[in-house]
Structure 1
């Protein structure tokens, strides 16, 4: 078995305009002081990393890694969640998703997609330069607006959607393969990869590309009422990244899974700080350890009630208390002995 690494923290939701949240040094010291051992870096935050320069310069990456290591931290993964989202955007979402793109490609979906594809490719090379073997991202979505089949989906629509999604990602996946890095898609509502069936559709559409893997975040499965523990049993061989985020689902006579267009705090399904939701993390950590999933336990804060500062402080302790030091010894080893075939025959009553 393999011991999960951690605790680590995804920095995306902690960025701000005031110290210590406005610089890499400030965030590293803050995270280290809280007891974190790793950071997951959002590559769209230029105050943390210049992803294009990281792809061009190994020296830049060595210096960046050295700075982070000086605080007793490691980089767990780079993240291109926002850029990955822009690899596949349905036109209905163009205006809203333009906010994720640089000004030079806004109002130009074709240029935006080309920029997103190149940026995600650059993250593969940067990951190799940094000595990383896993990368966190979103798949994007061409089909999400048809999630509830009304009006009825015409035959072949879903198949064509996944063929196109795979077509866009295959050149990216090949770059990751060349650089020895796994692409870990966060299985997430709003993405075409949002559960087990859709992951399998995409995997098949890519010809079972070996770099297609999973960022496992159970909070998204609670909101879908999907069995997040059985999910590990089905897909543990693909889980190469792990977000530790809590959530809860409290339906009423007025709202359920779709949430009634309410703000997060008023939805039936909502994200919570670690330990405040309904997720059975003891079993999750046990399963991931048992299945030898080589992952960092990365805290992601998205609570609709608790402050990010309190969530981060409690999150490091929470993860530390759940990491299992994998045993290298069986509890009944004392009864073991060399194989004695004659003795075995006597025990079995075999002549």
Structure 2
């Protein structure tokens, strides 16, 4: 049986969950990936609340495999400033004290794991943030000690979170992404090392964030075959010729046609999804393929519908036997 195709609701946070469920079903999706904090209040501890969420999904014939805590997870390790106020709920921002925000964000991440358990799930995807992302380009020169301290800060803050996840039987899937502690294969390996290959720590695989960086996004699957906990299907286009705005984005907004790269609806960018499906089959990944739809120059309903159809068309089951086995008598 082909893998279920789900819709990540992060980009639909302006709509009530019931409306998103109705749309997801009409677009052809098998389930949803609930994005926090818009579509799930993980601070709730009453079983009736979670039963109500499951009943709503059942009503629309949708499955749930994962919840996502990207926005609040970003604040756990980041250097906090006014940008974060625009994405954090008041319960996390509080009085704006950076360390208080980080600690509340970490506790919220643990609450997300508890909520996942209440929903019968074992995966929470999300971000970690990074105290050293601003040193990506090493000038003035950045010392190894400065980078190592950034990873040590990540470990100090996240290992207690991961320990709590493990106690609950839930795993955290970091979306490898610019502005996170892991943003390519090398930094993902370093993140794994500093948390001592914690069994609750792995990755939410999203090829779009690797492709335009010229990172081998298929090899990433092979490198971390036992750590791919969840998969986002998202496409990106990058130019074959020089552009006015380079790979760093030039302080432009997403969708600006002058950029070297932009996210695009699935099948309209440069990601080779055929190779991704084959690699996922090779490692035995049987989880959902979750469409995180982003294309600033396309209507999102049109994009979600065509992306769902695209994923269902490109996915296929692995062979149960070698093709030439039938040659034998």
Output the TM-score relative to the length of structure 2.
Answer: 0.93
TM-aligned CA deviation for residue 200 of structure 1 = 1.4
Alignment of structure 1 residues 1-351 onto 2, 5 Å: 5-16=3-14, 22-45=15-38, 48-53=39-44, 56-91=45-80, 94-104=81-91, 105-250=94-239, 251-252=241-242, 254-264=244-254, 265=256, 266-334=258-326
3-state SS of the aligned residue for 2:43?
helix
The CA deviation string for residues 195-247 of structure 1, in whole angstroms up to 9 with x for no partner, is: 11111111111111111101111111122111111211211221111111100
Residue 253 of structure 1, CA deviation: 5.5
Q: Which consecutive unaligned segments of at least 5 residues does structure 1 have?
A: 17-21, 338-351
The Cα offsets for residues 236-292 of structure 1, whole Å up to 9 and x where unpaired, read as: 221111111100111515443113222322310110011110110011111101210
Partner of 1:346: none
CA deviations on 1:168-221 (whole Å, 9 max, x unpaired) are 001110111011111100000111210111111111111111111011111111
**Greater C-alpha radius of gyration:** 1
Q: Name the structure, 1 or 2, with higher relative contact order (CA <8 Å, separation 6+).
A: 1
* Pairwise CA RMSD: 1.7
User: Could you give the per-residue CA deviations for residues 297-338 of structure 1, whole angstroms, max 9, x where no partner exists?
Assistant: 11111112211111011011001101212333443444568x
Distance 1:72 1:248 in 2: 33
What CA deviation, in whole Å up to 9, does each residue of 1:149-169 have, x standing for no partner? 001013411111101111100
**1:71 offset after TM fit, Å?**
1.0
Partner Cα distance (1:102, 1:262) in 2: 26
1:61 and 1:103, CA in 2 relative to 1: closer, same or farther beyond 3 A? closer
- Aligned structure 1 segments of 4 or more residues deviating by more than 6 angstroms: none
- SS at 1:112 equivalent: helix
Between the aligned partners of 1:4 and 1:199, the Cα distance in structure 2 is 28
TM-score (norm 1): 0.88
Alignment: residue pair count? 324
Asked if structure 2 preserves the Cα contact closer than 8 Å seen for 1:4 and 1:289, the reply is no
SS at 2:174 equivalent: strand
Secondary structure (helix, strand or coil) at the match of 1:236 reads coil
